[in-house]
Every structure is written in C-alpha cells, then in structure tokens.
C-alpha cells in the first residue's frame, strides 16, 4: 500500500506528465479503464483521448501547480485530493482556473494506476454574493 508520500508523488507525476506532454509516463500511470472528468465543461475523457490530445499538442499546459494535498489509503486504493492552479491551451482558446481535484489510484498486478481523476472549478464569489447570502 502506498504511504502518503507515495500517493502524493503519483499525483505529482501525473501533473508533471501533463505539463511536459510526456505520453510515455502517462501510459505507465493511467489504468486501461482510466476516466477523467475535466473542469471546463465536465466532460468525461477516456485514457485514449487524453493520451492522443496531450501527445499531439491539442491540449497543452503552461501551469499545473498542486497544493493542499491530502491522502487516504486503503488496502488496494489510495485517494488523493487537493487544489490545483491550472493554465493551458486548447486549439481555439486558452484557460486559467483554480480547481479542486480528486485522484483514485488502484493497485494492479503491474503497480499502482490512476483510474479516475476529477477536477472541479473553484468559483470565487465576490463581496456582493457573500452579502446577498448573509442577508437571505
């Protein structure tokens, strides 16, 4: 079972591979049945689609910085949650957002694999919204 440091390292390796368009590392880290729920539209992205888009440069990142990482480990599962600052590019747009992420790693015969990743945008409310909520 990975300890906290190992699971954090696996998540950081995933973000590093995305940042550097390292398809070889992604192929090793991602389970065959991997799914990503991406933060821009909430789309479900398969392993093959992510590998293709990162490898071809359709999806690229200028910043992927994780912090506030917490890990929970069970027999054959490690769950990693944290915050992520993200800046990147798609064919017709750029994006910049802060989000929360969850990674689920499962122990397979060949080692620990990332089976699910979800990134959820963190919306910042302004003073106006906080006041409206306080007064309701």
The domain locations on the chain are: 4-134
- What backbone torsions phi and psi does residue 83 show, to the nearest 5 degrees? -110, 155
CATH of 4-134, one of 2.40.50.140, 3.10.110.10, 3.10.450.50, 2.60.120.10: 3.10.450.50
Tell me how crowded residue 88 is: count the other CB atoms within 10 A of its CB.
18
Cα(47)–Cα(53) distance, integer angstroms: 10
pLDDT in single tens digits along all 136 residues of the chain:
444 448 899 999 999 999 999 999 999 999 999 999 999 888 999 999 999 999 999 999 999 999 999 999 988 999 999 999 999 999 988 999 999 999 999 998 888 999 999 999 987 655 566 666 666 6
Q: Please state the pTM of the whole predicted model.
A: 0.85
């Amino acid at each position: 079972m990975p300890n906290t440091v190992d699971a954090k390292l696996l998540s950081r390796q995933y973000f590093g591979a995305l940042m550097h368009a390292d398809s070889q590392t992604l192929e090793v880290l991602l389970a065959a049945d991997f799914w990503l729920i991406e933060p821009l539209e909430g789309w479900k992205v398969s392993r093959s689609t992510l590998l293709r888009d990162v490898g071809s440069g359709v999806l690229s990142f200028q910043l992927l910085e994780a912090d506030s990482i917490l890990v929970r480990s069970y027999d054959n599962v490690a769950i990693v949650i944290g915050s992520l600052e993200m800046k990147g590019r798609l064919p017709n747009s750029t994006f910049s957002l802060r989000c929360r992420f969850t990674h689920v790693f499962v122990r397979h015969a060949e080692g620990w694999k990332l089976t699910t990743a979800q990134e959820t945008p963190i919306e910042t409310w302004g003073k106006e919204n906080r006041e409206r909520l306080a007064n309701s």
